Amino acid sequence: VRLVGSEMCIRDRAHIMRCVTYNLNGLDDTDVDVRTEYAILSLLVGEPLQDVLLGLRDPDPAPDVICLQEVTARTFHAHVRPHLVGAGYTLFPAEPREREHFEVIASRIPMREQRVDPLIGSLFGREFVAVQLDSGVWVHTAHMDSLKDGKHARQRQLREIFYDLNQRSPSLFLGDTNLRDSEVPDVLPNGIVDAWEAAGSPAWAKNTWAGKMRFDRAYASGLTVQSVKVTGRKPMDSTGSPASDHAALWVTTT
């Protein structure tokens, strides 16, 4: 499969950046290899994946940056690293974390700096991953605490994320926040924009988890959000179900 968009990304990477976040549902062992393989390839070339692989449609431009959650050692070694490194991405972390599942940022833009920090007050030992790209932009991801009991931890973690975005502007956060709408402040801190709201709050791009909740969110500081979209809702031919219970959330910024 031929990846497209490389020349545009290199020529205009200081102006246009296409990022995507995707929770791979790696904790569910059901068809995990088939699902992860489909998920990674569909991020790289678009969907329906079968149409691209059969030459029935041209591949979509590949994203500049990919943020993944619920990666496991198994899916990292079997699917995530082979395909993304083969497609020209640098991965951080380069090896699995010592956790049941972890987060990965993959970038076709060179990285200047990388860091991983514990999420404040996490009940699950989760982490906050960030990279600074050669363009100067910081990209962050996390899988914030889940379940209803994690409300107060999520709110503390959101404040931490907002603080870091402003400290490292221009910056972008994309990840699985697990936030309920009632847990998010009505007014965001100065300099922070909700990417979905900045793109006009399109109803079709709102709910990213099982079609019910807006768990996967993106926030920007010092960047202009051009568009958002969601993918990954189409059932796979091999199983009749989507690759994950989450949709992939795409954000284009300048």
Which residues carry out catalysis? 176
Buried b (16+ CB within 10 A) or exposed e, 117-148: eebeebebebbbbbbbbebebbbbbbbbbbee
The string of DSSP codes covering 106-122 is: EESSPEEEEEEEEPTT-
| Residue 199 region by backbone torsions, left for phi larger than 0, else alpha for psi between -120 and 50, else beta | alpha
Distance (Å) of CA 71 to CA 35, 59, 84:
12, 25, 13
Cα–Cα distance, 91 to 105 (Å, whole number): 6
Cα-flanking dihedrals φ and ψ of residue 9, to 5°? -65, -40
125 and 157 in contact (C-beta within 8 Å)? no
Chain-centre distance of CA 210, in angstroms? 16
Count how many Cα atoms sit within 13 Å of the Cα of residue 83 in the half-sphere of its side chain: 20
Q: Collapse the DSSP code of 30 into the 3-class scheme (helix H, G, I; strand E, B; otherwise coil) and give the result.
A: coil
